[in-house]
Amino acid sequence: MTVDSSPETQAAPAVPQQSLSTAAARNLATTTKSAPQMQEITSRWLLRMLPWVETKGGAYRVNRRLSHTVGDGRIEFVQDGASVRVIPRELGELALLRGFEDVDVLTALADRCAQRDFSAGEVLVGRGTQADRIHMIAHGRVSQSGEGKYGGEIAIGVLADGDHFAENALLDGDALHDYTVTAETSGTLLTLARADFEAVRDTAPSLQAHLEEFRSVSRQRQNKHGEAEIAMSAGHVGEADLPGTFVDYEARPREYELSVAQTILRIHSRVADLYNGPMNQTEEQLRLTIEALRERQEHELINNRDFGLLHNADFKQRIQPHSGRPTPDDMDDLLCRRRGTKLFLAHPRTIAAIGRGFNAYGLYPDHVDLGGQSVPAWRGVPILPCNKIPISKEQTSSIIAMRTGEENQGVIGLWQTGLPDEVEPGLSARFMGINEQAVISYLVSTYYSAAVLVPDALGVMENVQIARERD
């Protein structure tokens, strides 16, 4: 038997370890570590840019001059967030109620109006169907179509904010719809059923008398903004008789109550006692919880159906882009609707679409310095990112423009400071005790809301296309 003694088959002798291995050394080393990181944290420009007003008593009342325009043929509405109601006197724009001035009866009719939200493409009424209610459009655009004389479908008209249709349904029990009404955009309308109208009529002799006579319209004087006019005299000489006047206010001013975002933070006492170095576990848990609450706070200020900016923009301050994607002309249309616009707010993807729209015109957004940070701007107004503005499944979003501050009759944030166990202005962390499992609990709360002082302080460009078009 032969033994292969070639060099290739002989194992190399082991080299003895000459120093401590890095794996063993790490057992004695102190690890350098970061504070807990959180991807949810954003710039939160809205919270930084809103002027915050102290709100004692938990509510803020916005008193305004009485503002409505009777006699212009269009019905006006009042918004409370996503809730819409018709101004009782505005029912006088209906032909059958023109000149009727019994406010109690008009209020009873207004209270019976039901809200209906619709989406683009929805058929609101069909031609030939029974007409049992009047439809009053608060916001949105609808088209009327019918059958032509020689067959085929024909376009009859387009109705939008303040218009109404099927008025004859209130008096004619056999009325039918002569046309089909289809929604071209999403929107809101109010309906008054014939049964509700008749119930009010049967208990109101004044309305019964009016329906028999149809008195002529009584016009109230207003200024160009629709506010009750303040009578005055100018340019007179001598001892001319001066008109007497008063400034009328809204009888039911809007009140904004502070909303709340809360959570219970739980920390085991063993963690708080034994694992507090080099970082305080309680402080880090509280810091991340506060960041999450602030993110939720900004989301609510944008999207809440009661006080959120998207739902509180006046219908007359909402515009649509001309071609879908945002262009410089669209931004100018949004900008020109208010004095002293302080900022634009848009989703980051919408800001990218704005840049593409500008590039198509050979233009580039300006940049302004905001707190030491360079941000894009248009006409000197910064365009700030906010990822809380929703994007629809059709890849459309909105652009918000606002004037801010009480002194400017703009948009303001509401909070109450000086809370017990306050850790930040308007945010408290209250100790709730230790349970039988040795878990420490803290109630973390923040109270907030937002108010629009006059309608033109806030504007929204809706249905902005943000998806990139195919070449």
φ/ψ of residue 145, rounded to 5: -135, 150
What pLDDT is attached to residue 426? 93
Any idea which residue has 């609510």 for tokens? 300
Looking at residue 390, the DSSP 8-state letter turns out to be -
In this prediction, residue 219 carries a pLDDT of 39
The amino acid that residue 165 corresponds to is F
What is the C-alpha separation between 113 and 133, in angstroms, rounded? 10
Q: Which of 319, 256, 313, 400 is nearest to 82 (CA)?
A: 313
What pLDDT is recorded for position 72?
Answer: 57
Count other Cβ atoms within 10 Å, centred on residue 144. 20
HEC string of 44-111 equals: CHHHHHCCEEECHHHEEEECCECECCCCCCCCCEEEECCEEEECHHHHHHCHHHCCCCCHHHHHHHHH
Q: Which of 440, 448, 438, 159 is nearest to 297 (CA)?
A: 448
Residue 19 has a pLDDT of 80
pLDDT of residue 243: 62
CA separation (Å) from 389 to 28, 311, 348, 349, 459? 50, 12, 9, 10, 14
Q: Pick the closest to residue 162 from 139, 190, 185, 191 (CA basis).
A: 139
Would you state the pLDDT for residue 351? 95
- Those residues of the chain that have pLDDT short of 50 are 1, 214-220
Rounded CA-CA distance 414/450 in Å is 5
| Interatomic CA distance for residues 209 and 228, integer angstroms | 28
State both tokens at 36: 């807990």
pLDDT at 169: 84
Q: Which residues contact 466 (CB under 8 A, 6 or more apart)?
A: 325, 347, 349, 350, 352, 353, 391, 395, 396, 397
CA distances from residue 104 to 27, 85, 199, 217 in whole angstroms, order as listed = 83, 16, 14, 18
- What is the CA 218 to chain-centroid distance, rounded? 36
Query: For residue 237, what pLDDT is reported?
Result: 62
DSSP 279: S
Residue 32: the pLDDT is 83
Q: How many helices (H) and strands (E) does the chain have?
A: 10, 25
pLDDT at site 214: 47
Cα 403 to Cα 388: distance, rounded to the nearest angstrom: 19
